[in-house]
Amino acid sequence: MDHTLFRVMVAALLIGFVAHRGFYTRKVKHSTEAVREQLELGRASQIAGLLAILALLATIIYVFIPAWISWSSLLLPIWSRWLGVGVALGGFVLLQWSQQWLGKNWSDAPKLLEGQEMVANGPYHWIRHPIYAAFLLILGSLLLISANWFVGAMWIGMTSLDVASRMNAEEAMMLGQFGERYQAYMRRTGRLFPRILKRRDSGK
């Protein structure tokens, strides 16, 4: 089977992802004076940065010199690779939907901004970090689309570590800013996926 189409889709997916991030980074800018607090990301984020380099190199090799990375190929049925394409597209839909609802409250790093609002509508009605959920869907889909476990593992590992580090930092800041209101929001929502069973208040 000719895998050229899937290699092209992998490249297009990553280019689209980077372009989307770049667009909003330029569109939503905050002055230094507008930043009230910015937390440093932990060691997990640093490790994620190293994995990102490996993931990018592996993907470039997969796209342009696939024979060099054929040792980590997976024998996946064709439908599963198209399923990966569907997952990626769903991730982009969620990403754009979340970005529109977050608006000027978005920043490219965990920051507390002057006039920061607690957004709880749109996808934020069900999950606290839909943008990071979208990241996992988009970059995680590369495992299926590429049918290459090394390419997929690098992207999934990098994204998981970075997302975990960012979520912890952001929730710490939001708790400090909104207190009980954010605690109540956390009790009724999931971090990355909708909460099926809502946590009951203990009454204490």
The token duo for 39 is 């937390």
Q: What is the pLDDT of residue 197?
A: 57
Residues in the chain with pLDDT < 50?
201-204
How far, in Å, CA of 131 to CA of 91, rounded?
9
Exposed e or buried b for every residue in 175-204, given b needs 16+ CB within 10 A? eeeeeeebeebbeebeebeeeeeeeeeeee
**What's the chain's length in residues?**
204
Taking the alpha carbons of 28, 106, 158, 82 in that order, is the dihedral positive or negative? negative
pTM confidence score: 0.90
What pLDDT, on a 0 to 100 scale, did the predictor assign at position 198? 55
**SS3 label, residue 11:** helix
Beta bridge partners of 127: 190
Place of tokens 């507390």: 112
Six token digits for residue 85: 């394409």
Model pLDDT, residue 103: 86
Q: Are 192 and 132 in contact (CB under 8 A)?
A: yes
DSSP string, 32-68: GGGEEEEPPP-HHHHHHHHHHHHHHHHHHHHHH-GGG
The Cα–Cα gap between 41 and 102 comes to 21
**DSSP codes of every residue in 12-25:** HHHHHHHHHHHHHH
Class of domain 4-188: mainly alpha
Q: Burial, 71: exposed, middle or buried (Cβ in 10 Å; 0-12, 13-18, 19+)?
A: exposed
Sign of CA dihedral 117, 39, 109, 134: negative
- Please report the pLDDT score of residue 110 as a whole number: 73
| pLDDT in the model for residue 41 | 66
- Domain spans of the chain? 4-188
